[in-house]
Structure 1
Amino acid sequence: MNAETLEKQFKSSVCSDIELVKEGIDRFQIFTPFRFDDGDHYVTVLKKRGDRWIISDEGHTLMHLSYSMDVDNLFGSGNRSEIFHKALTEYSTSENDGELYIEISDDNSYGNALYSIIQAISKVYDVLYLSREVVKSTFMDDLKQEIHKLIPKNAKVTSKWHDSTDTNMNYVVDYKIEQKGKRPIFLFGLNGNQKIDDATITILWLEKKYDFFSIGIYEDQEKYSRKSVAKMTDACDRTFSSLPTNINKIRNVIAEQIDSSAKEISA
């Protein structure tokens, strides 16, 4: 199939504002009007791999995402991973080492393949713009992954810990980090005014029974009620305004409280 025929098929399936430019042997750049929020165009390349033609983003989409998030989260568990893999499945798109691509099955499927990969790229990029409730869940997923990277290896981590007398689980600690002979760390993820208030009350209640060091990590401190934040600041030993920009500081604070050697995780 020649380039002119291919271009017509692309225009028929996607939109009229498409240009196909030959860049070498068995390789064409497909220029489309679709862009990311910063103005960069989606990258779509038609090329031959083995005896099959594919349309590929050549890894550009995940590279673009990496400027704003840890793309490793797309390959683990949690909401971002679910959205990523759902987008690939929905639009019959494959992924290999960060590259998104679609194999062309026959001469009549070039246009559909371009349409599908453009939709897949758009959906994958949507992980940055999840609904507010999903973002809250994603923040807790991100916190979980980071905490298990940051804690000393000989520390024991218990998620959703509560005092044995608190049978209704009214005073729950997101992560209890403990090491023999050291006072425990009670760590809270703070992703809403209600969560901040609950964590504050939990700290004040537990202070009557335990000697511990408390850490609060906000999703984005500036988004929340000043009154709630102020109360949390008074109650908590150390707070951080956000997770991504404070990783090293959080690591240092945890290291100051307990030794660093091996890690045991219990759910």
Structure 2
Amino acid sequence: MNEDASIESELRASISREVVLHREGSRWLVFTPFRFDDGDSFVIALHKDQNRWYFSDEGHTLMHLSYRIDEAMLQKGNRAEIISGTLSPFDVKNKRGVLVKDVEDDDFGNALYSFIQAIVKVSDVSMLSRDRVRSTFLEDVDNFLREVVGTGLVKDWIDKKYDSEARYRVPYAIETVRNPLWVFPIQSDSTVQDATIVMLKHESWGTAFEGVGIFEQQSTISRDRLARFSDVCGKQFSSLEGNRDRIKDYLQREMS
């Protein structure tokens, strides 16, 4: 197997069978199923500089954001600080508007996963909006789950065996007599895509779980992202309000 095919095989095994690696000149374009809210695909390229491999968005992510937010405002002040703080946990650097992620120890799969997660987080325009309105949805879900589940609820669960850097946290984990329930509160296209990435990663590690999605308003989620989320998340509730009794009955049934 040649080098290109070997890397592509690793990326497919780690992320999705839909990943395609295409050599173009001195770099490789990486096609994935992940997209921005408006449907545009993420731009990701794999580069090799002597013995150093790295992923780059070639400046596309912040350029894409500049369609809605003035580009100069993304490079300074509060928004620049938010972007920097968002990239840091994934070891992604912002080099004059170009996002870059080094591949450590030839682990292409984990590097690409982290890079995609960083793009997902940064591309959440609501996070950067000046007039951002705080939603009580996450607080409502938290209070509801604590009331229903009690001490059996684990918030921000981490797989210490595979995820020592805590990059693929599960918002809520509930132990049952069968597989644990993993609950994902979903507010937007960005959060549904992030949840999909987390579940796909744990799937690749062979972890057994039952995904549960609780939406703030499922009708606002794009059909394409909802379809991918549905592939890995078996139980979904279109909203918290109006479904409290159904969710409670489901959780108590699974825990009994």
TM-score range for the pair, normalised by the shorter chain length: 0.3 to 0.5
Indicate the structure (1 or 2) with the bigger Cα radius of gyration: 1
TM-score scaled by length of structure 2: 0.48
TM-score scaled by length of structure 1: 0.46
